[in-house]
């Protein structure tokens, strides 16, 4: 699918809650095409991090652009250029299949995308509106992905070992970085184009799992700010 429109609910769960949920998922859902995989992303932003700063202010409307691969890539391997928008709690995602080389040429040299579609035109507008977008953060994680075999619009993902870096900003580089969560925590995302099944609502209640706001890129940005502040203090005392 190149177009997504859905609600996304996020939860942080511990190992015990993860294991109980994993058993339920095996009973109720099916592993998706990628199943267990390593997700790698390059997040584009302005030099002053305009996009993520606005996102953290929790506006009614926000948007971001990223390049995504499933694992470390080699030359010419297909990846996805994704534009994600959120308006009044509804997430809209558009994406096109490209190579990393095509994406870089599109962003840096204004080269055309390989397809001339409405989605491609929206990305051209996004790129030209912000003018000086460039890769700012590499972010990766290990993901378990599941879907409902009856309601294809209902998905759940479990992300662990979320890491980021601000150097070696390429999907062809090794998958590594600084962690933003302890190793015994998972980020659970519930993604639904319709309603949430009662069996899941009851399970979350029994396990005392509560919805919360969490942005991987946002958390990485806050970690980066703290790191820079610490370095600045160290230079002041030197």
Residue written as token pair 């994680």: 141
Q: Is the pLDDT of residue 126 over 80?
A: yes
Distances from the Cα of 156 to the Cαs of 8, 13, 73, 130, 236, in angstroms?
A: 9, 13, 25, 32, 46
Architecture, CATH, for domain 3-237: Alpha-Beta Barrel (3.20)
% of the chain beyond a pLDDT of 90: 87
Identify the pLDDT of residue 229.
Answer: 83
* CA pseudo-torsion sign 228, 229, 233, 236: positive
Report the C-alpha gap between 35 and 25 in whole angstroms. 12
- 3-state SS of the chain is CCEEEEEEEEEEEEHHHHHHHHHHHHHHCEEEEEEEEEEEEEEEECCCCHHHHHHHCCCCEEEEEEEEEECCCCCCCEEEEEEEEEECCEEEEEEEEEEHHHHHHHHHHCCCCCCCCHHHHHHHHHHHHHCCCEEEEEEEEEEEEEECCCCCCEEEEEEEEEEEECCCCCCCCCCCCEECCCCCEEEEEEEECCCCCHHHHHHHHHCCCCCCCCCHHHHHHHHHHHHHHHHHHHHHHC
Q: Is the pLDDT of residue 235 over 80?
A: no
* CA pseudo-torsion sign 153, 203, 214, 169: negative
The 10 Å Cβ neighbour count of residue 199 is 11
Q: What is the pTM of this model?
A: 0.93
Identify the pLDDT of residue 195.
Answer: 87
Identify the pLDDT of residue 194.
Answer: 86
Q: Is the pLDDT of residue 236 over 70?
A: no
Give the least confident one: 26-40, 171-185, 201-215.
26-40
Identify the pLDDT of residue 238.
Answer: 57
């Amino acid at each position: 699918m190149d177009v997504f429109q859905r609600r996304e609910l996020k939860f942080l769960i511990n190992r015990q809650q993860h294991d109980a949920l994993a058993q339920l998922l095996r009973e109720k859902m099916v592993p998706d095409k990628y199943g267990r995989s390593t997700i790698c992303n390059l997040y584009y932003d302005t030099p002053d991090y305009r996009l993520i700063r606005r996102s953290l202010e929790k506006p009614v409307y926000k948007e971001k652009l990223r390049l995504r691969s499933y694992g470390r890539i080699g030359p010419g391997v297909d990846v996805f250029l994704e534009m994600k928008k959120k308006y009044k709690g509804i997430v809209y995602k558009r994406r096109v299949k490209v190579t990393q080389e095509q994406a870089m040429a599109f962003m840096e040299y204004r080269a055309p995308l390989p397809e001339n579609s409405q989605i491609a035109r929206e990305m051209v507008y996004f790129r030209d509106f912000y003018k000086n977008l460039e890769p700012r953060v590499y972010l990766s994680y290990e993901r378990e992905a599941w879907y409902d075999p009856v309601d294809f619009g209902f998905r759940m993902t479990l992300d662990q070992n979320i890491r980021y870096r601000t150097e070696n900003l390429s999907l062809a580089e090794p998958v590594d970085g600084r962690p933003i969560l302890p190793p015994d925590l998972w980020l659970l995302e519930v993604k639904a184009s319709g309603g949430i099944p009662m069996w899941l609502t009851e399970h979350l209640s029994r396990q005392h799992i509560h919805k919360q706001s969490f942005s991987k890129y946002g958390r990485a940005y806050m970690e980066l700010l703290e790191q820079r502040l610490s370095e600045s203090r160290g230079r002041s005392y030197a």
